[in-house]
C-alpha cells in the first residue's frame, strides 16, 4: 500500500534500510509529541494499518485484522456512521474530517483523504487520528466559565473592559451598552479608562478624572461611585493586571447601583424626617402641654380667688393650648400611619364634596370662636384616591385658614377642573394676613417649617402642611399657595378626577 511508515500487525515498516527506518522513527517521535497517529485502509482488500500512536489512541488490545475489527474499536453508536463515511469517501473520492468516540469513550478527531489510481478509482483511504478528550474538556470548561461569568455579569448589571498600557483595549457587551455603544465603538472612542470622564455627570467629573488617571498611570487599584450622564448611579472598580510582576494591563468593571443608591437616599431621608419629627415633638408638644398644666394648676389653686372673667380667660387659654396639642397629635398620628403604609393609599372613587364636609365638621367650633364663616362651595365631584387622607388635607388647610383669618372673616372652599388633564383643583382661600414669597417657598419643607402665630396668637408647627404635601404627592397631585402680605392666601391642590 502507498502509505509509508505504517505498522501492520506490529511489524516495523517494510525493511527498506536504515534511511527509511530513521524516517519511521522520526515520524513515530513526531506522532508521539503531537499526540497524533496515522492509519490507512485499503479499499479493495479492506486491510487496515495503524501506527503505534494510533494503536495507543484507539486503546487497541491487538492490531485489527480488517476494517470490521477496526470499527469495533469505535463507540457502538459511531460504527454505522463511520462505515458510511468511508464508503462515501471511496465512492465520491472526497476526504472528510469528523469527531468520533473510541470504544472507551474518548473523543477523537479523524481526518481522512482518499488515494486514487490513474483511472480515478479509490484504492485506499489514509489519514490521521488525534485524541482531543482533554482539550475539548478544557475548552468546554472555559466556555462554561465564560458563560457563567457573562451570566453573573448580566445578573449583576456588570460590565468590564481591559486596557493595555500601549493603548489596546477590549470590552464586554454590557460595558458597551452602559455607554450606548457597540464594543468596537467603545474601544475606538476610549483608548484610556480616564477618557470616559466626559460621560460622567458634571458634578463628579473632576473627582473621577483625578482618581482614574492616577490609578491607571501608577498601576494602582481604585474604587469610586459616581453618577453617569443620564442620572444612573455607577460603582466602578479598577485593578492592575500583572505578568511576571510587571504591570501590563488594567481591568475596569462597572455596576449599575441606582436601585441601591435610591434605597440609601430614601433611608437617609427617612432618618432626617425622623430626627426632625423628634425635634418638633420635643419642642412644640412640650410648650402647649406646659401651658395646659400651668393654667390648670393656677385654676386649681386660685379658682375661688379669681373673678369669673379671669376663670373664663384661663379656661379659654387651657382650651386653646389643648386644641393645639390635639391638632399636633392628630397630625403626628396621621403621618405615622401614612409612613407605616409606606405612602400607600386606597384607590377608590369617592365624593369630594362629602369628604370636605366631614373634614370641616370638627373645625366649626374653632371657626365660631373667631366668628369666621366657612363657605364650602364644593358640589358633587367624584375623585380617585383615599378619602380619609384627603379629609386630613382639608382639615389642615382650613384650620390654617381660620387661624390666620381676622375676626368675622370668611374661608372659601371650592373645586374646579384643573388645567392638567384628568385632575381636579381644590382651593382653600382666606381673607387673612397673607404670606411673603420667601415664607411661601418654605411652607411645605420639613427642614424649614414656617410657624407664624395666628391673628389671635394661635400656635402651629408647620407639620400639617408637610403632611398635606406628602398625601397630595401620593395621589399624583401638586400643592401650592398663591398669596401676598395683607392679601390673604389661597392654598390649592390637585387630585385625580374619576
Residue predicted with more confidence, 222 or 460: 222
pLDDT at 17 over 80: no
DSSP H helical segments within 308-413, as ranges? 308-340, 352-360, 364-369, 387-403
Provide the CATH number for the domain formed by 150-256 in this structure.
3.30.450.20
CA 366, 369, 371: angle at the middle one, nearest 5? 105
Tell me the per-residue pLDDT of 306-351, one tens digit each, with 9 for 90 and over: 788 877 777 777 776 676 666 667 666 766 666 665 555 677 899 9
Q: Write out the H or E segment, with its range, that includes residue 453.
A: none
Buried b (16+ CB within 10 A) or exposed e, 117-144: eeeeebebbbbbbbbbeeeeeeeeeeee
- CA 221 vs CA 118, 161, 187, 236, 471: distances in Å: 70, 15, 21, 11, 47
Instruction: Kindly indicate whether the domain formed by 265-337 is annotated with CATH number 1.10.287.130.
Output: yes
In order, the DSSP letters of 148-178 are HHHHHHHHTTEEEEEEETTS-EEE-HHHHHH
Q: Which of 3.40.120.10, 3.20.20.30, 3.90.79.10, 3.30.450.20 would CATH assign to domain 18-131?
A: 3.30.450.20
Rg (C-alpha) for the chain, rounded Å, is 44
| Conformational region of residue 385, where left means phi above 0, alpha means psi within -120 to 50, and beta covers everything else | left
Residue 485: name the closest of 440, 445, 454, 448 by CA: 440
pLDDT at 238 over 80: yes
Is 428 within 8 Å of 397 (Cβ atoms)?
Answer: yes
Tell me the per-residue pLDDT of 393-447, one tens digit each, with 9 for 90 and over: 888 899 889 888 888 899 999 999 888 888 999 999 998 888 888 777 777 776 6
Q: How sure is the predictor about 131, in pLDDT bands with cuts at 50, 70 and 90? A: confident
pLDDT at 173 over 50: yes
pLDDT for 437: 80
Is 400 within 8 Å of 491 (Cβ atoms)?
Answer: yes
Percent of all residues in the chain with a pLDDT value above 70, rounded to a whole number = 76
pLDDT for 340: 60
pLDDT at 208 over 60: yes
Residue boundaries of the structural domains of the chain: 18-131, 150-256, 265-337, 345-498
pLDDT at 273 over 80: no
pLDDT for 486: 81
Facing residues of 137 across strands?
none
Tell me the per-residue pLDDT of 87-96, one tens digit each, with 9 for 90 and over: 999 999 889 9
Is 159 within 8 Å of 177 (Cβ atoms)?
Answer: yes
Grid cell, residue 186, equals 467603545
Of 93-107, 150-164, 221-235, the poorest mean pLDDT is in 150-164
pLDDT at 110 over 50: yes
pLDDT for 490: 92
Architecture of domain 345-498: 2-Layer Sandwich (3.30)
pLDDT at 20 over 70: no
Note the pTM of the prediction, 2 decimals: 0.44
- CA 409 vs CA 327, 405, 464, 481: distances in Å: 22, 6, 22, 19
Q: List, as own/partner pairs, every contact residues 479-484 make where C-beta atoms lie below 8 angstroms and the sequence separation is at least 24, other chains included.
A: 479/393, 479/444, 481/435, 481/440, 481/443, 483/434, 483/435, 483/440, 484/434, 484/435, 484/436, 484/437
Grid cell, residue 326, equals 390635639
In order, the DSSP letters of 95-136 are -EEEEEEBTT--EEEEEEEEEE-TT--EEEEEEEEEE-HHHH
Identical fold for domains 18-131 and 345-498, yes or no, is: no
Amino acid at each position: 500500500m502507498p502509505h509509508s511508515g505504517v505498522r501492520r500487525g506490529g511489524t516495523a515498516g517494510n525493511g527498506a534500510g536504515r534511511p527509511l527506518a530513521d524516517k519511521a522513527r522520526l515520524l513515530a517521535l513526531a506522532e508521539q509529541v503531537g499526540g497524533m497517529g496515522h492509519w490507512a485502509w485499503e479499499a479493495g482488500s479492506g486491510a487496515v494499518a495503524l501506527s503505534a500512536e494510533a494503536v495507543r489512541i484507539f486503546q487497541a488490545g491487538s492490531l485489527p485484522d480488517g476494517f470490521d475489527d477496526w470499527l469495533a474499536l469505535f463507540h457502538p453508536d459511531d460504527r454505522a456512521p463511520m462505515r458510511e463515511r468511508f464508503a462515501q469517501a471511496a465512492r465520491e473520492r472526497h476526504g472528510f474530517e469528523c469527531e468520533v468516540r473510541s470504544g472507551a469513550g474518548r473523543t477523537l478527531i479523524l481526518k481522512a483523504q482518499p488515494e486514487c489510481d490513474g483511472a480515478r478509482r479509490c484504492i485506499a483511504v489514509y489519514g490521521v487520528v488525534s485524541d482531543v478528550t482533554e482539550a475539548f474538556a478544557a475548552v468546554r470548561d472555559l466556555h462554561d466559565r465564560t458563560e457563567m461569568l457573562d451570566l453573573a455579569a448580566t445578573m449583576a448589571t456588570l460590565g468590564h473592559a481591559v486596557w493595555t498600557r500601549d493603548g489596546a483595549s477590549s470590552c464586554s457587551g454590557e460595558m458597551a451598552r452602559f455607554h450606548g455603544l457597540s464594543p468596537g465603538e467603545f474601544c475606538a472612542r476610549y483608548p484610556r479608562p480616564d477618557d470616559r470622564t466626559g460621560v460622567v455627570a458634571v458634578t463628579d467629573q473632576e473627582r473621577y478624572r483625578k482618581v482614574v488617571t492616577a490609578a491607571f498611570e501608577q498601576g494602582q487599584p481604585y474604587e469610586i461611585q459616581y453618577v453617569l450622564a443620564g442620572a444612573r448611579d455607577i460603582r466602578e472598580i479598577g485593578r492592575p493586571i500583572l505578568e511576571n510582576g510587571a504591570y501590563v494591563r488594567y481591568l475596569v468593571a462597572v455596576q449599575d447601583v441606582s436601585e441601591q443608591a435610591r434605597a440609601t437616599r430614601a433611608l437617609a431621608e427617612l432618618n432626617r424626617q425622623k430626627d426632625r419629627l423628634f425635634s418638633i415633638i420635643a419642642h412644640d408638644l412640650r410648650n402647649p402641654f406646659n401651658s395646659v398644666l400651668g393654667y390648670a394648676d393656677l385654676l386649681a389653686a386660685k379658682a375661688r380667688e379669681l373673678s369669673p372673667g379671669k376663670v373664663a380667660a384661663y379656661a379659654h387659654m387651657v382650651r386653646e393650648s389643648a386644641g393645639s396639642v390635639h391638632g399636633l397629635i392628630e397630625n403626628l398620628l396621621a403621618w405615622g400611619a401614612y409612613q407605616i403604609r409606606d405612602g400607600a393609599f386606597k384607590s377608590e372613587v369617592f365624593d369630594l364634596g362629602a369628604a370636605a364636609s366631614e373634614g370641616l365638621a370638627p373645625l366649626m367650633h374653632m371657626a365660631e370662636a373667631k366668628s369666621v364663616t366657612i363657605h364650602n362651595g364644593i358640589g358633587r365631584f367624584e375623585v380617585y384616591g383615599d378619602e380619609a387622607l384627603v379629609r386630613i388635607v382639608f382639615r389642615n388647610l382650613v384650620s390654617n385658614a381660620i387661624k390666620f383669618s381676622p375676626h368675622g372673616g370668611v374661608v372659601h372652599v371650592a373645586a374646579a377642573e384643573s388645567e392638567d388633564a384628568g385632575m381636579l383643583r381644590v382651593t382653600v382661600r382666606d381673607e387673612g394676613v397673607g404670606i411673603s414669597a420667601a415664607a411661601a417657598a418654605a411652607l411645605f419643607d420639613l427642614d424649614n417649617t414656617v410657624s407664624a402665630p395666628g391673628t389671635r396668637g394661635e400656635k402651629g408647627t408647620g407639620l400639617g402642611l408637610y403632611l398635606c404635601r406628602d398625601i397630595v404627592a401620593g395621589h399624583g397631585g401638586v400643592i401650592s399657595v398663591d398669596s401676598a402680605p395683607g392679601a390673604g392666601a389661597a392654598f390649592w391642590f390637585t387630585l385625580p378626577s374619576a
